[in-house]
Structures are given as structure tokens and as C-alpha cells.
Structure 1
Amino acid sequence: MDAVHPNIYEEFADFITSSPTLEEIANYRLSQASERYVSELLEANRTRGLTPEESRAIDDFMRLEHLVRMAKIRAIAKLDQQK
């Protein structure tokens, strides 16, 4: 795979330390480069299997995705309480 592995942990750390609003947290998405990389990994997993490095990258993404979902759920709940 030719794609450069974006550091999704650094990307999220940069976002979360930028003092985002609850709305920004609720709407957070990975960068297009990161989303493209993850899509390529998922396609590679379906078609040819993954290298150990690619497997680790998918595992990293899954862990971060869980954390992001938890943050989004909490942000949305707080926004709902403010209405």
C-alpha cells in the first residue's frame, strides 16, 4: 500500500487540545487523508489481507474510533441537556 500512515492519535490529540466546543466534538471527523487511509486498509483487508503494520494501524483506528464515539455521545447528551 502506497498511502502514508497518518498518525490518527496525534490528529485527535491536536483536535481535543484546541478547546473544541461541544458541537465541534459532536461533529468531529478524521481528516480526509486519515479516512482515505483507513478505507484503503479496509479494502486491502477484504482483498489481500494485511501486513502486521497495517493490522496495527487498523487496531489503532478501532481504539480511537471507540474513544471518539464515546466523546461524541457525551457531547450530544450535554447539548441536549442545554436545550
Structure 2
Amino acid sequence: MTTSVNTAKVYDEIIDFIAAGTTPQSVVNFQLSDSAKARLEELVYRHKTGELTPEDKRELDHFLTLEHIMRLAKAKAHQYLNAE
């Protein structure tokens, strides 16, 4: 698999989640698929062992950006839930 395919699948998971409609609770509960989590773990391991290619680095950067966005969304969702 190429980076663009792996990255596109993760983006698709998040886009499908948003497009299906969300609630604050569903945002809090959102998790990536097991395959996406496994790929992220592989990239982190390769980064720690110095085996990360430039393409892998770009893929890891995309994962980290998406993770940051989801953490912000989850924090905001918690605020909405606590305000109810």
C-alpha cells in the first residue's frame, strides 16, 4: 500500500463519521478502525527505530494532524456534554 492509499482510508473514516451525522457523545466515542490503529502503531515504531522513510514520515504527519483535530473535537464535545 502506498502512503496516499493509507492516508485516504483514514480521511475516509473520519469523513464518513462526520457525514453520517454526529452528536457530542458520538464524537467522544469515535475511534479509528483497528487497521488504521495498527498502521499508526507501525509508523510510530518505525519512527522510534529510525526506519521511517520520507513517505512514511508524511503519512505519520497526516495521522498526527488528524489525531490533533479529533482531540480538539472531543474536548469541545465534552464541553457540550457538560453544559447539558
- The TM-score bracket by the shorter chain reads 0.7 to 0.9
Q: Deviations over 1:26-52 (max 9, x none)?
A: 111111100000001111111232111
Q: Deviations over 1:13-71 (max 9, x none)?
A: 11111102211101111111000000011111112321111101100011101110111
- Give % identity: 36
Match of 2:6 in 1: 5
Cα distance between partner residues in 2 of 1:9 and 1:29: 13
Q: CA RMSD in A?
A: 1.7
Structure 1's consecutive aligned runs of 4 or more residues displaced over 4 angstroms after TM superposition are none
- Give the aligned residue type for 1:5: N
Q: Compare the two structures and name the one with the higher helix fraction.
A: 2
- Give the aligned residue type for 1:39: E
Match of 2:61 in 1: 59
Cα distance between partner residues in 2 of 1:5 and 1:37: 8
Instruction: Give the secondary-structure state (helix, strand or coil) at the position aligned to 1:5.
Output: helix
- Give the aligned residue type for 1:44: R
- 5+ long unaligned stretches in structure 2: none
Match of 1:31 in 2: 33
TM-score normalised by length of structure 2: 0.86
